[in-house]
Structure 1
Amino acid sequence: MKTTFTIATLTLASVLSFAASAANLVNNDQVNSQNLQPIGSVSVSGILGVPSDIRHQLSQKADEQGASAYRIIEARNDGNYHATAELYK
């Protein structure tokens, strides 16, 4: 029982820490209303899974580039997902 509680606590802590440092997904209106400045773009491809897996990987890449937000500008699924996002500060 103690092991299960410890694993659950660590899992929750890692989820919360990811959410705290992750770049935010934004839309066109948010980019304009928040006066976000573009700083580049990133792409991910060859992803098997669900759309949230794509968002997670784009968010990680955005974090690595120092972005506070990202906007998906292209996405497709031809057996494997591919997506491109513009990064913002």
Structure 2
Amino acid sequence: MKIKTTLTALSLLSVVAFGASAAESINAAQASKMTDLGAISVSGITGAPSDIEQAIANKADSEGATAYKIIGVREDNGWHATAKIYK
């Protein structure tokens, strides 16, 4: 149940644009029209779901992606998240 709540929160946060990052969160329909660059992950993130979202956005941006789609989140001594990145 906790993971469902977290994924719901992340989905809601994905519509928020973070000004410091050029990479944006996208949905599956948008992703199907872009070039898949692979996957990224972040781990050991503490704080709110928005902190996870920001960490993914920053890493996607540093990898040269213009967009990302979070595909997994779990909590185990900090948050761990995986995302597909796109250009």
Task: Give the TM-score normalised by the residue count of structure 1.
Answer: 0.71
Once the two structures are TM-superposed, the CA of residue 19 in structure 1 deviates from its matched residue by 1.3
| Unaligned runs of at least 5 residues, structure 2 | 1-17
The reply to whether residue 26 of structure 1 matches residue 29 of structure 2 is: no
Q: Which structure: larger Rg?
A: 1
Which consecutive aligned stretches of 4+ in structure 1 deviate over 4 angstroms post-superposition?
A: none
The reply to whether residue 49 of structure 1 matches residue 47 of structure 2 is: yes
Once residues 24 and 66 of structure 1 are traced to their aligned partners in structure 2, the CA distance between those partners, rounded to angstroms, is 12
Once the two structures are TM-superposed, the CA of residue 22 in structure 1 deviates from its matched residue by 2.3
Identity between Structure 1 and Structure 2 (%):
50
Once residues 51 and 34 of structure 2 are traced to their aligned partners in structure 1, the CA distance between those partners, rounded to angstroms, is 24
Once the two structures are TM-superposed, the CA of residue 20 in structure 1 deviates from its matched residue by 6.2
For 1:37-76, what aligned pairs fall within 5 Å after superposition? 37-76=35-74
RMSD: 1.5
What's the secondary structure of 1:55's corresponding residue? helix
Task: Give the TM-score normalised by the residue count of structure 2.
Answer: 0.73
Q: Counterpart of 1:24 in structure 2: which amino acid?
A: E
Once residues 80 and 21 of structure 2 are traced to their aligned partners in structure 1, the CA distance between those partners, rounded to angstroms, is 24
Q: Counterpart of 1:23 in structure 2: which amino acid?
A: A
Q: Counterpart of 2:65 in structure 1: which amino acid?
A: A
Q: Counterpart of 1:88 in structure 2: which amino acid?
A: Y
Provide, for residues 13-48 of structure 1, a one-character-per-residue CA deviation record: whole Å limited to 9, x for no partner: xxxxx616420011112212xx11101211111111
